[in-house]
């Protein structure tokens, strides 16, 4: 289980996150939606300590961390328990698909090279890319690069995978492939995950819970159906209004 309580983050004088609580039970998928600039990416980056939170408590399994005073050992522990999948893939351009996966296993998890390669091959197979293992990112399509990003996150065997708009940089025809893989991870493998997404149909399908973030706060949460069908806060109503024609068919 992952529990984030009272997360605050500001940049200079600007408050970005104003007390965010997120709770994800083991095996659950939580979707986060909300307007641009709401702080969705910042929240995920604070969970992974890519950004330093100002205040808050993070609980991963039995262990709680005071986010205001993290030691470097704790930062390492948190990073090892949480893996990110980025909008822009964030692969090493000068490493092959296989090396992109083995590198963090060898460096951060201190797994030996042979074992790391075995794990990488298993995970590349899972995302249907075994034949592409020796290709460099520039030789892969956006969808394939994102599948490497997902395989890299899975290979780390984290407590939670954090997806930050994993399909928004993809060509429309590649979006479904990647969503299918995430859906499989969520529904069949029950990997605990938090997904920031604008794909509401997908969220309705896979998310156990949806959170709507606006102005650095969770203004609404519930089952996907509750939030998408009966939004209560006016900011949620306005946001969902932009997706009205799509939602009409899925709800």
- The single-letter DSSP state of residue 17 is E
Q: Comparing C-alpha atoms, which of 116, 110, 185 is closest to residue 150?
A: 185
Q: Which is nearer to ligand ATP, 39 or 137 (CB)?
A: 39
Q: Which is nearer to ligand ATP, 41 or 193 (CB)?
A: 41
Q: Specify the stretch interacting with Mg ion by CB under 5 A; choose among 16-24, 36-44, 51-59, 112-120.
A: 36-44
Q: Which is nearer to ligand ATP, 39 or 166 (CB)?
A: 39
- Buried/exposed code over 175-209 (b: 16+ C-beta within 10 A; e: otherwise): bebbbebbeebbeeeebbbbbbbebbbbbbbbbeb
Binding of residue 36 to ligand ATP (CB under 6 A)? yes
Binding of residue 13 to ligand ATP (CB under 6 A)? no
Binding of residue 33 to ligand ATP (CB under 6 A)? no
**Which partner, ligand ATP, Mg ion, none, binds residue 249 by CB below 5 to 8 Å per kind?**
none
Tell the smallest beta-carbon distance from residue 179 to Mg ion (Å): 18
Binding of residue 174 to ligand ATP (CB under 6 A)? no
Q: Which is nearer to ligand ATP, 36 or 138 (CB)?
A: 36
Binding of residue 27 to ligand ATP (CB under 6 A)? no
Tell the smallest beta-carbon distance from residue 41 to ligand ATP (Å): 3
Q: Specify the stretch interacting with ligand ATP by CB under 6 A; choose among 33-41, 112-120, 144-152, 225-233.
A: 33-41
Binding of residue 138 to ligand ATP (CB under 6 A)? no
- The size of the interface with ligand ATP (CB under 6 A), counted in residues, is 10
Q: Which is nearer to ligand ATP, 132 or 212 (CB)?
A: 212
Could you tell me how many helices (H) and strands (E) the chain has, helices first?
A: 10, 10
Q: Which of 41, 146, 167, 197 binds Mg ion (CB under 5 A)?
A: 41
Order of strands across the sheet that contains 2-11: 14-24, 2-11, 55-60, 63-66
Q: Which of 22, 40, 154, 175 binds ligand ATP (CB under 6 A)?
A: 40
Q: Which of 7, 29, 41, 163 binds ligand ATP (CB under 6 A)?
A: 41
Neighbours of 107 (CB within 10 A): 10
DSSP 20-83: EEEEE-TT-EEEEE--TTSSHHHHHHHHTTSS--SEEEEEETTEEEETTS--HHHHHHHHHHEE
- Listed as own residue / partner, the contacts of 77-80 with beta carbons closer than 8 Å and 24 or more positions apart are 78/47, 78/48, 78/49, 79/48, 79/49, 79/108, 80/108, 80/109, 80/156, 80/158
What is the contact surface with Mg ion in residues (CB under 5 A)? 40-41
């Amino acid at each position: 289980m992952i529990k984030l309580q009272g997360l605050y983050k500001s940049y200079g004088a600007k408050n970005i996150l104003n007390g965010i609580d997120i709770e994800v039970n083991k095996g659950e998928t939580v979707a986060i939606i909300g307007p641009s600039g709401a702080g969705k990416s910042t929240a995920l980056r604070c969970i992974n300590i890519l950004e330093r939170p100002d205040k808050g408590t993070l609980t991963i399994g039995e262990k709680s961390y005071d986010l205001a005073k993290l030691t470097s050992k704790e930062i390492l522990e948190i990073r090892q328990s949480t893996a990110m999948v980025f909008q822009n893939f964030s692969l090493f351009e000068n490493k092959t698909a296989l090396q992109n996966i083995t590198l963090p296993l060898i460096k951060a998890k201190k797994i030996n090279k042979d074992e790391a390669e075995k794990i990488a091959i298993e995970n590349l197979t899972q995302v249907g890319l075994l034949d592409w293992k020796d290709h460099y990112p520039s030789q892969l399509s956006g969808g394939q690069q994102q599948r490497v990003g997902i395989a890299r996150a899975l290979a780390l065997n984290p407590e939670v995978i954090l997806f930050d708009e994993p399909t928004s940089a993809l060509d429309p025809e590649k979006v479904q492939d990647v969503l299918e893989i995430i859906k499989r991870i969520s529904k069949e493998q029950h990997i605990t995950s938090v997904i920031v997404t604008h794909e509401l149909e997908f969220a309705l399908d896979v998310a156990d819970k949806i959170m709507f973030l606006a102005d650095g706060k969770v203004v609404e949460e519930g089952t996907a159906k509750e939030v998408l069908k009966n939004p209560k806060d006016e900011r949620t109503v306005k946001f969902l209004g932009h997706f009205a024609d799509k939602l009409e068919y899925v709800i």
